């Protein structure tokens, strides 16, 4: 398995796509029920293959990631061969931007000396999607990039 098994909830959400996936392998509903009952290891392999296909599609379409920690914000822009980072570090004690109050504080004070900005760029390794997935495993979420776009104007 290249990425991670989809959760039960994710698999339920993607049930029609999973049925199509099984159909591409000429597996009917009856055959799937039989496989699950008599060959659970084969069923597990099929779930893993489907999960990897879903992750691969999602990761290939990801353009922005965000990872919010109590006193840091990491914003990533995904390009063809590299990713760009804008990071904000909160220097003021007691501010937690993962809370509503802390995030409101950041919105009002991002231009103050109590917030430091950092930027960086990094080329992807041989496998771009695995690099993106590693960030997701560390807590990043795929976004539309509104925050990145806003702060990109600040650091230019």
- Name the residue ranges covered by the structural domains of the chain: 8-61, 64-155
> Residue 126 has what DSSP assignment?
S
Supply the pLDDT for residue 86: 96
CA angle 16/17/19 to nearest 5° reads 65
pLDDT reported for residue 53: 94
pTM score: 0.86
Q: How far is 58 from 55, CA to CA, in rounded Å?
A: 5
Spatial separation of the C-alpha atoms in residues 12 and 4, rounded to whole Å: 16
> Taking Cα atoms as reference points, which of 154, 153, 129, 151 lies closest to residue 66?
151
Residue written as tokens 């600040």?
Answer: 154
Tens of pLDDT along the chain (156 residues) come to 899 999 999 999 999 999 999 999 899 989 999 999 999 999 999 999 999 999 999 999 999 999 999 999 999 999 999 999 999 999 999 999 999 999 999 999 988 999 999 999 999 998 999 999 999 999 999 999 999 999 998 887
Neighbours of 97 (CB within 10 A): 21
> What pLDDT was estimated at residue 155?
80
């Amino acid at each position: 398995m290249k990425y991670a098994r989809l959760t039960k909830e994710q698999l339920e959400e993607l049930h029609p796509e999973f049925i199509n996936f099984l159909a591409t392998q000429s597996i009917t509903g009856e055959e799937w029920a039989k496989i699950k009952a008599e060959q659970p290891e084969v069923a597990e392999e099929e779930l893993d293959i489907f999960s990897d296909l879903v992750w691969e599609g999602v990761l290939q379409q990801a353009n922005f990631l965000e990872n919010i920690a109590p006193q840091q914000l990491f914003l990533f822009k995904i390009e063809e061969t590299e990713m760009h980072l804008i990071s904000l570090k909160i220097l003021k004690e007691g501010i937690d931007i993962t809370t509503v109050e802390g995030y409101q504080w950041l919105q009002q004070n991002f231009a103050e000396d109590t917030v430091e900005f950092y930027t960086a760029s990094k080329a992807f390794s041989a496998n771009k999607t695995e690099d993106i997935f590693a960030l997701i495993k560390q807590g990043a979420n795929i976004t539309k990039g509104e925050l990145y776009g806003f702060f990109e104007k600040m650091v230019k």
